[in-house]
């Protein structure tokens, strides 16, 4: 959901990618339903492993409560949001998780846009 929410609101400044420490291989139908409520079709995404991210360079790596299970991915900034996995929960649980992710993504977007604006003003 984090990748989708970032694409919804910040595709102009953030290239989002998401992966899990133990992906199931499919997108949870409740996540699809929760994102559909925001007008986003999560069916076009696929379940990815953190191994799919190896060898890439990131400005931000954001983890959500995976603790020691998260292997290190090199990035300029590491952020922990500590948002619980809604897996096994109800649609209401997925909505709560979606809304927490959305709140944090909006804060990240502001930070990235401010950093981008600052770097543009320093380069002219």
Q: Mapped to the 3 state alphabet, what secondary structure does the chain carry?
A: CHHHHHHHHHCCCCCCCCCECCCCCCCCHHHHHHHHCCCCCHHHCCCCEHHHHCCCCEEEEEECCCHHHCCCCCEEEEEECCCCCCCCCCHHHHHHHHHHHHHHHHHHHHHHHHHHHHHHHHCC
- Under the banding of pLDDT at 50, 70 and 90, the label for residue 5 is very high
| Entry pTM | 0.85
Residue 106 is predicted with a pLDDT of 93
- Residue of 45 and 116 predicted with greater confidence: 45
pLDDT at 70 over 90: no
Distance between the two ends of the chain, CA-based, in angstroms? 37
Mean of pLDDT values over 74-98: 93
Q: How many CA atoms lie within 13 A of 29 on its CB side?
A: 1
Structural domains in the chain, sorted by start: 2-117 (3.40.50.2300)
What pLDDT band is residue 113 in, cutting at 50, 70 and 90?
Answer: confident
Would you say residue 97 has pLDDT above 90? yes
Residues 2 and 121: their CA atoms lie apart, in Å, by: 29
Share of the chain above pLDDT 70, in %: 93
SS3 string of 87-110?
Answer: CCCCHHHHHHHHHHHHHHHHHHHH
């Amino acid at each position: 959901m984090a990748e989708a929410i970032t694409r919804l609101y910040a595709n102009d400044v953030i290239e989002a990618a998401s992966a899990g420490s133990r992906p199931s291989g499919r997108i949870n139908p409740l996540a699809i339903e929760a994102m559909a409520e925001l007008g986003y079709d999560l069916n076009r995404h696929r379940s990815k492993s953190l191994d799919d991210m190896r060898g890439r360079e990131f400005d931000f790596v954001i983890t959500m409560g995976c603790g020691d299970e998260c292997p290190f991915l090199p990035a300029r900034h590491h952020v922990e949001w500590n948002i619980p996995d809604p897996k096994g929960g109800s649609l209401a649980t997925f909505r709560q998780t979606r809304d927490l992710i959305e709140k944090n993504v909006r804060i990240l977007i502001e930070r990235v846009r401010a950093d981008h604006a600052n770097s543009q003003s320093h380069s002219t």
